[in-house]
């Protein structure tokens, strides 16, 4: 009996080892797998929510739109007005919400990270916080996420963000428009803002929450890579397929070409995007000549607070941080 047990254990061990060795070769041969693991757009959490009804998530002053940046691409968009307009917003149509963008309230274009949808729990909670502070919040699902139609790619996600930004600017008059990216959305945000700066239409500020330097460094630091980090040829097996799929999200390069105020928020206990990557990005951006006339600020959140990767919205200090950063127009770098 003991001999049979040992045989079964040896068979299981061989299968585990075989699978461990096979996965790197599978990813190398099929780089599309790595792209799917980065985007995780097929992971729709929370399940069973109707994105056409943001009120079901407690957003009773939010309108659902659909925009079409390209043929065969449709984007699901939520627009939440400042909470002081909660009563006025009841029963209003899309035209009322669009006209509201020209009011005297600033606008935040929020670019979410991978997995889930614009209706993700932590995202909804952030919209509520920003709305309570007097901001319009416009957010959307990139092509291939949620109920948006299309195939995900870095180029496509960036173009989607550009289209929504231009849509906002066409309706917002002289109101400030800020761009807020979280996690993978920071890669979309810096791609977008670099492009806006190059065409000389920069946003009024850029906020990066839990950012990385570039997708290769983030993939190497991600907790999922721990079991393979010291695997022979790790870069060749796991990181090169990302590059060959056209995915870079080069925040570290983009910040050298951005000319607007920059605020970086990062929790020290972030288990997904290591804190040191956010700090490293700040250290690259702060001395950059492109920011010489603009504020660059890094705000760490102590690990004792437990904000981890996606709970900075819980910080009671966040309203003050945003008020002080966005409320001052004079240039000058802050450390």
Q: How far is CA 81 from CA 38, 75, 230, 252, in A?
A: 31, 19, 49, 33
Tokens of 233: 């040829």
- Rounded to whole angstroms, the Cα distance separating 38 from 325 reads 31
CA-CA-CA-CA dihedral for 217, 226, 115, 121, to nearest 10? -110
Q: Kindly report the number of other CB atoms within 10 A of residue 222's CB atom.
A: 18
| Measured CA distances, 180 to 1, 174, 245, 263 (Å) | 62, 19, 26, 9
Contacts 24+ apart (CB under 8 A), 235-242: 236/28, 237/24, 237/25, 237/27, 237/28, 238/24, 238/27, 238/34, 240/28, 241/27, 241/28, 241/31, 241/33, 241/34, 242/31, 242/34, 242/35, 242/38, 242/215, 242/216
DSSP 260: S
Residue 97 has, within 13 A of its CA and on its CB side, a CA count of 24
In eight-state DSSP terms, residue 209 is E
Residue 329 has φ and ψ, to the nearest 5°, of -100, -15
Provide the annotated active-site residues: 183, 270, 309
Given a contact cutoff of 8 angstroms between Cβ atoms, the answer to whether 69 and 141 are in contact is no
142, 157 in Cβ contact below 8 A?
yes
Place of tokens 């935040």: 108
Strands (E), 197-333: 205-209, 261-267, 296-301
């Amino acid at each position: 009996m003991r001999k049979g047990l040992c045989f079964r254990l040896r068979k299981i061990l061989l299968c585990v080892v075989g699978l461990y060795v096979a996965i790197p070769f599978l990813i190398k041969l099929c780089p599309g797998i790595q792209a799917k693991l980065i985007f995780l757009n097929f992971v729709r959490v929370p399940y069973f929510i109707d994105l056409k009804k943001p009120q079901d998530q407690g957003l009773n002053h939010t309108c659902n739109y659909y925009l079409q940046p390209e043929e065969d691409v449709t984007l699901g968009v939520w627009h939440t007005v400042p909470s002081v307009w909660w009563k006025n917003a009841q029963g209003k149509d899309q035209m009322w919400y669009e006209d509201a963008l020209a009011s005297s309230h600033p606008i935040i274009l929020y670019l979410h990270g991978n997995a889930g949808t614009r209706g993700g729990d932590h995202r909804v909670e952030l919209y509520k916080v920003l709305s309570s502070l007097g901001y319009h919040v416009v957010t959307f699902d990139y092509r291939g996420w949620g109920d948006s139609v299309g195939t995900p790619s870095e180029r496509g996600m960036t173009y989607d963000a550009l289209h929504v930004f231009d849509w906002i600017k066409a309706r917002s008059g002289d109101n400030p428009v800020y761009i807020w990216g979280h996690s993978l959305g920071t890669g979309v945000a810096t791609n977008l803002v670099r492009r806006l700066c190059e065409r000389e239409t920069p946003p009024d500020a850029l906020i990066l929450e839990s950012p990385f330097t570039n997708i290769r460094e983030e993939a190497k630091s991600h907790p999922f890579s721990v079991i393979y980090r010291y695997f022979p040829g790790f870069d060749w097996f796991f990181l090169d397929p990302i590059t060959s799929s056209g995915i870079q999200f080069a925040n570290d390069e983009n910040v050298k070409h951005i000319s607007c105020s920059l605020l970086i928020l990062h929790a020290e206990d972030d288990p997904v995007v290591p804190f040191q990557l956010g700090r490293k990005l700040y250290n690259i951006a702060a001395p950059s000549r492109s920011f010489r006339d603009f504020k660059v600020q890094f705000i760490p959140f102590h690990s004792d607070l437990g904000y981890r990767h996606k709970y900075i919205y819980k910080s009671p200090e966040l309203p003050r941080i945003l008020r002080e950063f966005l409320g001052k127009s004079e240039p000058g770098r802050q450390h």
